[in-house]
Structure 1
Amino acid sequence: MPSSMKWRVPVVLAAIGLSAWFAFPLSQRINLGLDLQGGMHLILRVDASAVKEDVRDRDVTGVALEIIRNRVDQFGVREPLIQRQGSEHILVQLPGVTDRDRALKLIGQTALLEFKLVADNPRLVERALKGEAPQGFELRADEDGSPLLLDTEGALTGAILSDAWVEPGELGLPDVNFRLNRDGARAFAQLTGANINRRLAIVLDGTVQSAPVIQSRIADSGRITGRFTREQANDLAIVLRAGALPAPIRVEEERTVGPSLGRDSIRAGLAATAIGASLVVVFMVLYYHLAGAVAVLALALNLLIILGSLGYLHATLTLPGIAGMILTLGMAVDANVLIYERIREELKAGRPLSSAIAAGYDKAFSAIFDSNVTTVIAAAFLYWFGTGPIRGFATTLTAGIIASMFTAVFVTRVVFDILLGLGRLNRLSMAKLIGETRIDFVGKRRLCYVLSALVIGIGIAAFIQRGPQRYGIDFAGGLLQEYRVDHPVTADAMRATLRKVGLGEAVIQEFGSPTEWLIRTADDTDADVERTIALTREALYADLAGTAPPELVRMERVGPVVGKILREKAWWAIAWSMVGILLYVAFRFRHVDFGLAGGIALLHDVVVAAGMLCLMQRPIDLIIVAGLLTIAGFSINDTIVIYDRVRENLRAARKVDLGQIINLSVNQMFSRTLLTSLTVIVEVLALYFFGGEVLRDFALCLLVGFISGVYSTVYIASALVITWRRAFKPS
């Protein structure tokens, strides 16, 4: 047994122990994203232009953030996320909160509390009713709708409060009591003491809550009465304690996920993971026998390390994150397939088993390393441009790739060395489905160029023909509502229902089953959004309520400005990831033509996938861009494996024609190209059929891209090197 086992075995055991320590118990170590547990995701813009000029030099967004944080903390949300984004935006995530109306009012209400004296002069009131309010006065209506003329000179604000709480008032209705701070008590005492028997209006955000008569000097506390529910009174007390916002707040992006959709997503994600992993396990054990069982052991450790990494980083597990985990399981097996096929070649060449295993690991390492680096490059740009769930996907994908390098290259080697050292491994049997091939891949390159150009042309035409409809709500902006009813509904019936309330132009789509429907409208202002939500609820409750009322399971709203920014960032992320991969491949293989050919091949796969989605009338949104970047990272993997073999064969046969070398290399790697792609495609199929409707378009995108990747690897990438050299290096 090698002496290095003295430190290699402890490293493996330490990895297992630390991963288990940080991963379990899962409920305490790993937080679920809003898409899995339900909740609200908001991007707020602080409208600093509405602030008075003399205070515009203050950090208005920073003040607003602290006030919103205080409000949310007092609201009782478990583990909220409140972060500043840029100079005027604030990110707010509220896990478990699905009462959007209450949450939006609590967060977005300015809560400017003012105390203003009521003018008793009937002549002034009469002038104000004619639109001639004197300077220093404003006309308002009291709680009963009667006109009140308020004196704005010397008004006090909610800054004089030190506390606010709810107590039962007259007729059992809740009142909001408040206590004054030291400076406030002095000012309030002066105001009330000098105006006994006059009315004092209590105004909140421009609305008169009450206007009681001052009966005595008040210097310590007061009470706000109104027609409040208990919930409204509690929320008012919260915003008064937290203070008024320094500027109006605009909602530019909103995503609300109901708890039932979260539960469905968890069940679907777990089912897809279990089924996909089971299929890969069965394949590996049947095809590689004992070596397959070792790979399965590494697969289990890979999953444990991913969970441990998420726990250590305090990361949030999202539905796309589960998809990333499923994908990395397939990618982890790819590395084992490369190693085992190398071992098979070494055994065929007559090497002893121990030497064959050592050579297999050594010769496969460079291809495994290069292919994983390209995927990490794509994941890095995905994390850079993405938000929320998309960053969760990038995190789990990166953690899985790094874990697979460790488990496939290091852990399985330790297991084989232990078995060899104990004398328990004398032979390594493996099945073989695909024998040696002698296909002239290079000779078919012109036909394949034409075929690819035709497919890409059709995809581009579909992309152009779809116009603005090609983008999902993430990029186009607007309002998306997902409703679930308790009985099947036809598209005609749904459209007729919406037409009754003036929403006949809404885009409707059956979402998985005739009991779930997506309703998309182009609303962008707060007023339009609230109106559409109310009209949709009214129409569906009136026409489609069965034994249970229709359920709003998801609501997404993106403003046109945010949509444009996300769209631009998405295309830049795709472009930069391709440039990064191209430069890395060119650097590793010391030839620009290899890098350009690989870059064109992966661009081919991304365009084919995007074009096919447009052809099938599927929208391109954030999660689809995540799929396209995954395709970019994975598509180059098999290309790198073939390039690695081309490099090896060029060293061994320097005088052989490059076309013959490429044909030989592609044929040598053809079976493992199919096997490595097969394991990932199996995982994607499990995701497509069992991962739920939310991930179906994502899985479809990956499926098309990965199949295109197999084709481009064997017919396009290497052939382009020949075309490039004959065009630019005729000698």
Structure 2
Amino acid sequence: MLFVSFSTALLFLVTLIWYFTASDDRTKRWVGLACSFFILINAVFSLFPPAEKIKLGLDLKGGTAFLLELQGEPSAGALDQAIGVIRKRIDKFGLSEPIIQPMGKRRISVQIPGLSESEKAAAKEQLSKVAKLEFRLVHPDTDKLLAAIQSGQEKIPLGYEILPFSQAESKEGKSESLILVRKREEMGGKYVRRAFRGFDEVGRPTVVIEFNEAGAKRFGEITSNNIGKRLAIVLDGEVKSAPVIQTAIFKNAVISGGNMTPKEAEDLASVLENPLETPVKILEERGVDPSLGKDSIISGINAALAAFASVVLFMVFYYRLAGIVAVVALLVNLLLLLGLLAQFHFTLTLPGIAGIILTIGMAVDANVLIYERIRDELEVGVNVKNAIFIGFNKAFSAIFDSNVSLIIPSIILMELGSGPLQGFAVTLVLGIVANLFAALVFSRNLFEWLLSWGMLRKLSMMKFLHKPNFDFIKWSWITVPAAAILLAVGIATFFLRSGELLGVDFSGGDSLTVAYKQAVPVAKVRQALEEEKIHPSLLQYSREGNQLVYQVRYGEGEKSVNVLKEKFPQAGFSLSRMDSVGPVVGDELKHRAGLALSLGLLAILIYVSLRYEWSFALAAALGQLHDVLLAIGIMALLGKEFDMYLIGAFLTILGYSINEKIVISDRIRETLKFKGANLSFKEIINEGINKTLARTIMTGGTVVLATISMLILGGFVISVFALAILIGVLAGMFSSHLITPALLYWFHGLAEKKRKKISIPTQAV
């Protein structure tokens, strides 16, 4: 299977390279069609059955809630260690979107989206398995002695014990036998650096255990001193594998046999890599409904459809036939993205949808960018065929740079981030891959076929601006100080009111279980609490028993129950239980997120510096910070509570912002290259901005249309999320024209002054 996947990917890569290098038009068309057909078929097959491939998160579908308790006398850091281990076990790549919170000093609340009965059993094992790993030598006469011991003829030898040994019996199932092993371990699990699923020489799943430096040395000593003997790999008192040592091994250990499925191998690797220091017991298990509520989900779907329809109508109305090509490419982009997400078994939540919105916005932008370049060529008299060819080539650098500048920090987020941040980064990277293919291969190939069929003798488009000539730098003495003042007020408000603005996701609070006689729609419950300035988190009905479960900030628990009693007397609400709950985003997650975002911004700065120059990079980075900080500040001024949904919105703004600035920087760089000798740097900047002004308004307009649809038609949670994105998009459009260019102009001026100062020769005395 692995060989087939690798061969298929290699074949596709070769075909793709062939497409870009082919010089013959006919060959290029057919190779491009083959590429598109191949990847679309793969995406469609990846999506079926949809319910199994892309799961909906706790906010959209609900799932299963577990209440865990540490056993014995846990140490001071045992709770944090257990939370970290459980998160890594069930959400290794940030795609499962669980919610994990400490409750009191020894309990942990875990919610996992949509589990089937078989998945529940696997989840329970992942949650509670201690995963104590030992390597022990097997008695050389284990089979003979076991038979004699079982018949009463022999006793268990001193220093040995009998352990269960799970091994393959047949394809239908497994049998459990016994094996005689030493009580003393030769080596423990503390030497494990990581564990992962592998395959043996015939393609059966195995678990590969990779040791740290000390572990590799110790394992080498054990195996070199015991060649010909059997070494048992023991997990929680059960022998998983007992191979004969054939030679000294100084690298990895492998657990094989047992007729493991790939999923079982992955789960085993996960617990081996993340052992629990303190045993955990599952106290409670219950099903929970979606936290957004049915009404909010329906509103969100309607808003998303309206947003998509508005973008489609706009593109077709403005770009006509080219707009239809863009819409088809957009649908292909979405299909490819969903296919890729299905292959990763992605769990879709509202923050994940934020990543999809960003990639769709960038897909529209890529098409607009190409079409505006084609228009430029048509206006100077180039024929349609050559205009399309030149337009795609000239747009390539901006599309490539803007996408790469997002891929680099996304990869850093995937490596260093955790939980929702990782999920957002994975969505973004996959979305960019889909975006690049749809824009640079599929849409181009579609144009090539339309040309060959004689359907593109003329390519007409509407024109929004005719040769604009605005002096953007002229107003910088007003716009930059005004933006700085607004930023200062907003950020000051955030820090002064952070205690009331940070929601349960960041500060913890009260977790309430409220009994009821008559259910009230979640949207109405949320609205009633919001009217009293109480912002509920994780508001959902339990599927077992008449219980409503939600979380509020510390001290608001009893008040919230009284509000519900007063607003809905017919519901018969009564408090069943109230617990103290810790934040979803713990200190480690905050630290890793801060580090990942900081390194991501630094990576963008370095990349843009290499592709352009340091003044472009610094101006773009400061503009990017302006956009997200302005969104944070305005949301703080509006008194909106900060939760994980808003974090998704702010990450989306960061991505959209750098895309805007890269596109404009690309035009400024081009103008500098061809007209630098005849124009001042101020004139070069203004001309570069004016040439991209129509594209910025078109792209920004489509995103604004989409977010306004979500703002009006979405439920409370979705509308707040859309409001943050709307503010960020408008801030990005503003800064890309009136802040970043001004900073670029000033930085360039400083560099020129320094250069002139260095070049002035020293006068002899």
TM-score bucket (shorter structure): 0.5 to 0.7
- For residue 386 of structure 1, report the CA deviation from its aligned partner: 5.5
Q: 1:403 to 1:262 in 2, by over 3 A?
A: farther
Aligned to 1:36, the other structure's residue is in SS state coil
Q: How many residues align?
A: 556
Between the aligned partners of 1:653 and 1:300, the Cα distance in structure 2 is: 39
Cα separation, 1, equivalents of 2:662 and 2:34: 33
Query: What is residue 746 of structure 2 aligned with on the other side?
Result: 723
Q: How many angstroms apart in 2 are the aligned matches of 1:405 and 1:487?
A: 40
Counterpart of 2:493?
Answer: 462
Task: Tell me the TM-score normalised to structure 2 length.
Answer: 0.63
Residue type of the partner of 2:352?
G
1:399 positional shift? 2.0
Q: 1:10 is aligned with what amino acid?
A: A
Equivalent of residue 41 in structure 2, options 12, 17, 20: 17
Match of 2:610 in 1: 587
1:376 paired residue number:
407
Q: Secondary structure at the match of 1:606?
A: helix
Shift of residue 604, structure 1, vs aligned partner? 0.8
Asked if 2 retains the 8 angstrom alpha-carbon contact of 1:374 and 1:636, the reply is yes
After superposition, the Cα gap between the structure-2 partners of 1:308 and 1:646, relative to the gap in structure 1 and judged at 3 Å, is: same
Identity of aligned residues (%): 37
- Deviations for 1:356-415, whole angstroms, at most 9, x for unmatched residues? 000000000110111122233444455456555554443333322221111112111111
Q: Which has the larger radius of gyration?
A: 1
Which of 61, 71, 74 pairs up with 1:50? 74
Deviation at 1:705, TM superposition (A): 1.1
Runs (5+) with no aligned partner, structure 2: 1-24, 91-95, 130-161, 165-176, 179-275, 540-547, 757-765
| Counterparts of 1:268 and 1:108, CA distance in 2 | 36
Residue 554 (structure 2) aligns with:
522
Aligned partner of 1:415 in structure 2 is 446
Cα distance, 1:481 vs. partner?
5.8
Task: Give the conservation status (yes or no) of the 8 Å contact 1:479–1:522.
Answer: yes
The aligned counterpart of 1:698 is 721
Q: Which AA in structure 1 matches 2:31?
A: W
Mapped contact 1:512–1:693 kept (Cα < 8 A) = no
Structure 2: how far apart are the matches of 1:50 and 1:630? 40
2:620 counterpart of 1:598: yes
CA shift, 1:333, in A, is 0.8
1:344, 1:551 → 2: CA distance? Answer: 66
CA distance in 1, matches of 2:538, 2:505: 20
Shift of 1:608: 0.5
CA distance in 1, matches of 2:126, 2:35: 52
Task: For residue 562 of structure 1, report the CA deviation from its aligned partner.
Answer: 5.3
Correspondence for 2:153: none
TM-score (norm 1): 0.66
Tell me by how many angstroms 1:521 deviates.
3.0
2:425 aligns to what? 394
1:609 CA displacement: 0.7
Q: What are the within-5 Å matches in structure 2 for residues 109-508 of structure 1?
A: 247=278, 249=280, 258-259=289-290, 261=292, 263-384=294-415, 387-479=418-510, 485=520, 508=534
Seen in structure 2, the aligned counterparts of structure 1 residues 701 and 309 have a Cα distance that, compared at 3 Å, is same
Counterpart of 1:116 in structure 2 is none
For residue 282 of structure 1, report the CA deviation from its aligned partner: 0.1
Distance 1:461 1:267 in 2: 37
Q: Is the 8 A contact 1:471 1:620 kept in 2?
A: yes
- Kept after mapping to 1: 8 A contact 2:63/2:114: yes
**Mapped contact 2:300–2:713 kept (Cα < 8 A):** yes
1:662-715 CA distance string (max 9 Å, x none): 111111111111111122222222333334323333222211111011111011
CA offsets, 1:295-334, max 9 Å, x none? Answer: 1111111111111112112222223223332332222111
Match of 2:264 in 1: none
RMSD of aligned alpha carbons: 4.7
Deviation at 1:477, TM superposition (A): 2.0
2:660 maps to 638
Residue 510 of structure 2 aligns to a residue in which SS?
strand
Q: Does the CA contact (< 8 Å) of 1:382 and 1:394 recur in 2?
A: yes
State the one-letter code of the partner of 1:644: D
Contact kept? 1:33, 1:316, Cα under 8 Å? yes
Q: 1:668 to 1:255 in 2, by over 3 A?
A: farther
- Residues of 1 paired with 2:631 and 2:553: CA distance? 26
Q: Which amino acid aligns with 1:427?
A: K
* Offset, 1:557: 7.3
1:670 and 2:693 aligned: yes
Deviation track 1:134-158 (CA, whole Å, cap 9, x = no partner) reads xxxxxxxxxxxxxxxxxxxxxxxxx
Which blocks of at least 5 consecutive residues in structure 1 are unaligned?
Answer: 70-78, 112-159, 163-180, 183-244, 497-505, 524-531
CA distance in 2, matches of 1:556, 1:273: 37
Per mean C-alpha deviation after superposition, the further-off stretch among 285-294 and 668-677 is 668-677
Residues 650 and 724, structure 2, Cα contact 8 Å, conserved in 1: yes
Residue matched to 1:216: none
Counterparts of 2:522 and 2:735, CA distance in 1: 45
Distance 1:720 1:562, change over 3 A: closer
Q: Bigger shift: 313-322 or 478-487?
A: 478-487
